[in-house]
Amino acid sequence: MIRLENIDKVYRTDTVETVALSSINLTVQDGEFISVMGPSGSGKSTLLNVIGLLDVPTHGRLSLNGDWISSYRDRALAKIRNQEIGFVFQTFHLITDLNVVDNVEIPLLYRKLPGSQRRKMALEALERVGLTSRAYHFPTQLSGGQQQRVAIARAIVGKPRILLADEPTGNLDSHMGDEIMEILQALNKNDQTTIVMVTHDSRMAERTGRTVRLFDGRQVN
């Protein structure tokens, strides 16, 4: 379960103070699939980054799977991200110098696993997204949809309980977007993976269990 209590996020520079999130209270139950919608600059990605422990809230507190995040020290956060969370980004963020299976292995590099087991798990994850045949291709040799499927394989290879997807279909045409949504829905349904997905696309949002709307950093529903 993900729980946010009175989360504020304020960015300060010498002259400007920008409120990205204000008094966010949100609970996402285990196995839930929610979407976050709102106009550009409404704080959707910031919310996802706070949930994913990539960003630290200015005020408020957050719990993941029942544990309140009490320490924001680099190593502790890195461990939680590695064990509990998977990320899917709009622009895929695959490492172009590595082939597909090496990209998928990345989260496992930070666990004490033998190379053979890492490789096995990575190939299994690729199988789940239907890309085993492309395991030794490089990202630039794949279509956008295929790259996003690799990114999903990377996100799920470590079997995280939470998957955070930041506009995963934003860079894809509708056909490829549908394919990605089907994979996400299957993960949610079959593995009970909790998914929080940011999207601009109301058609995609309708396929999730619940939609949270943000406007100027505030929750509006």
Partner 1 sequence: MLKNYLKIAFKVFLRRKFFTFISLFGIALTLIVLVVAVALWDHVFGPQAPEAHADRLLTIYFVHAKGPRGNTNGPAGYAFHDRYVRTLKEPKTVTVHSIFLPVISYRHGTEIKSWVKNVDGEFWQVFRFNFLEGGPFTSDDEKNGNRVAVINQTTRQRFFPGESPIGKAIELEGRPFQVVGVVSDVPMLRFTSFADAWVPISTRKSPMYKTEFENGMFFSTILAKSPADLAKIQEEFKGMLTRIEYPDPKSINHLTGRPETLLDTISQELCNGYLTTAALIAMILFMCLPTINLININVSRIRERSSEIGVRKAFGASSLTLVGQFVIENVVLTLIGGILAFVGSQLVLRTINHSGWIPYAQLTLNPRIFLYGLAIAVFFGLFSGVYPAWKMSRLHPVEALRGRES
Q: Which residues bind partner 1 (CB under 8 A)?
A: 49, 52, 54-55, 74-75, 78-79, 81-83, 86-87, 89, 93, 95, 97-98, 102, 105-107, 109-111, 115, 154, 158
For partner 1, give the closer residue by CB, 140 or 221.
Answer: 140
Q: Note whether 22 and 218 are within 8 A (CB).
A: yes
For partner 1, give the closer residue by CB, 33 or 87.
Answer: 87
Closest approach, Cβ 183 to partner 1, in A, equals 19
For partner 1, give the closer residue by CB, 32 or 102.
Answer: 102
Rounded Cα–Cα distance for residues 18 and 161 (Å): 32
Closest approach, Cβ 46 to partner 1, in A, equals 8
Rounded Cα–Cα distance for residues 158 and 175 (Å): 28
Closest approach, Cβ 189 to partner 1, in A, equals 24
Closest approach, Cβ 2 to partner 1, in A, equals 17
- Pairing label, strands 218-219, 210-215: antiparallel
Q: Which of 26, 29, 45, 27 is nearest to 37 (CA)?
A: 45
What torsion do the CA atoms of 139, 123, 197, 86 make, to the nearest 10 degrees? Answer: -100
Closest approach, Cβ 110 to partner 1, in A, equals 4
Beta-bridge partners for 2: 28, 64
For partner 1, give the closer residue by CB, 69 or 178.
Answer: 69
- Pairing label, strands 33-37, 59-64: unpaired
For partner 1, give the closer residue by CB, 26 or 77.
Answer: 77
